[in-house]
Structures are given as C-alpha cells and as structure tokens.
Amino acid sequence: MNNLSEIGKILVDNLNRYYMPFPVDKKVCSEWAKDLPKGGNTIIYTSCMYQIEPAVGMFLKFLPSISSFKGLMPLARLVKPSRSQLDRAYKILNNIVKALEKSGIKPGYLYEEEPYSGAILLEMGFLEEFGEYAKKVVSLFKEKGVRKIITVDPHTHNALTRYQEFVKHDLEIVNYLELVNYTKKVEGEFTIHDSCLYSRFLGLREKYRGLIEKSGIKLVEDEMITGKDTSSCCGGPLGPVDLKVSEKIAENRAKDLEKLSKKLLVVCPICYVTLLPHFKGEIMDIAEVIF
C-alpha cells in the first residue's frame, strides 16, 4: 500500500471512530463557546477548523512516516495547539458569534457532538470515502434536529455544499459572511489574501470585501497579486500531498503580498497557518479585526 493510500485509510478510520481526522480532545474544539444554546434547528458549525488548524502543520510533518505509527493516537499526544493559538481561535469564533447576534441571529451549537466536515478527504481526492462520510454527518445533523448550518470557514463551507452530490438532504448551508451586516470601525491599511474557495468557487469574495470596506479599512491591492483571476493560492491544501511544494508556494505568495503591505488580512484558518511562517509582517483574520 502506498503512503497516500495509507494516509487515506487512517483518516477514514479516525473519522468513523471520532468524527475527526485524528484523535483530539473535543473540549479543545468546544470550550470557546460560553452561553450558546446546545443544539437547535439553526447552529453555528466550526468543524473544529480554527481550533485545530494551528497544529496541523506539525501533523503534516509526521505524515511521511505515518505507517510507523499504530494509528494516530500517538500523534494526538504530540500534535496539539498551544494555549495562545487556542485563545486566538476562540476569540475569532466568539467575534463571529457577536457579529451574528448584532445582525439579529443567535445560533445554537453542538459542542462536543460537533463532527468534522470531511473536507480533507475531498481535497485529497478520496471522493468515495468523502461521500460515505458525508452520509454519516448528514444523518447526525438530522438526528440532532438541525435544519440550518452556519459555516465559518471556506473549506468547511465547500465540503458541505458538495454533500448534495453524494447524499440528498434538505439542510440549508449558509456562511456567516452572508448573514453578517455589522462591523466595528477600523482605521488603517491592509492588503488581503483571498481564499481561493471563497473568491473563485463559492461566490463570497464581494461579501467579505464589502464588510472590510464598511469597517473603514483601506485595502492596498495590485491586480496581478490580489486580482480574482490572477492571485495565487497560499499552498496550504497541498500540504498533505507534498509539504515541501506547499511551503515553497507559501513562501512565494508571502513575498508577493509583502510588496503591498506589512499588514495582511486573511479569511481562512488554513491560509493563516500556511502564510504565517513566511510573511514578514502582521497577519490577522478579518474576524479578529472588523468584528
């Protein structure tokens, strides 16, 4: 069995066991939420992306030798976010909830029963496995009485919108950017790294740019660097397949963005983690800045 197949097998095994791609204490995913109702027909859905993404880079470094581990349980003890990384993730999620509430929406949350979306299977090309996992997640949502799901990151949103190709359902999938009409006032100039999924495939580019403009931020742009059809990927989604190439793409992308500003806005936890080691300046998620 080649290494990619081995990775897929282990990911599927853990998703089926834990509803997560690798074992993780579910409190890490859920302890950000303070007073949200548990469950309900409308929920905010994090897929634990902001919470665990800071640790994924370390996880990826172990992938070439993954077959030497007996499952992923040993990695769970080695790969976990730091306290400061979790605090940042929790602040982002609470800011998103605050913005939703100020826009008249108070969602519920599944807390430790929240499953991961399966996005990594989709993005690594394990389509059959992704389809089977999608059926499990849809069934879980229905068991919990969920009818409307508010996503908070592009990879989760993309995965859920793709579920319909594999399992028919009547769940409403909406991104928080489509619902929020509140921003606080912010001064200063930033450049922006667009999420490829939000910008090119999910139709949300103008949504978050409109919110940024409403806040008062001035975006410094160049058509060849930040244009819709000319900007490049951060390289992050390639990490599970070829980490070295992923890091080289990130390095090149960071250099281009630094030509425009030393302050960078992102709209995706994968983009943040991927660009952070290479960008010689300040990187912030829009939810840290405008809400």
For range 83-98, the mean pLDDT = 97
b/e for 144-182, b at 16 or more Cβ within 10 A? bebebbbbbbbbbbbbbebbeebbebebebebbbebbeb
Q: What is the DSSP string of 24-77?
A: --HHHHHTT-SSPPBS-SEEEE-TTHHHHHHHHHHHHHHGGGGGGSSSSHHHHH
pTM: 0.94
- Residue-wise pLDDT for 248-279, tens only, equals 999 999 999 999 999 999 999 999 999 999 99
Q: 74: pLDDT confidence band, cut at 50, 70 and 90?
A: low
- Please identify which residue in the block is written with the tokens 């890490």: 28
Reported confidence tier of residue 65, pLDDT bands at 50, 70, 90? low
Q: Which residues pair with 190 in a beta bridge?
A: 219
Domains of the chain: 3-178 (no CATH), 189-289 (3.40.50)
Supply 67's token pair.
Answer: 């077959």
Element (H, E) at 285: strand 282-285
Q: Please state whether 47 falls in left (phi above 0), alpha (psi between -120 and 50) or beta.
A: left
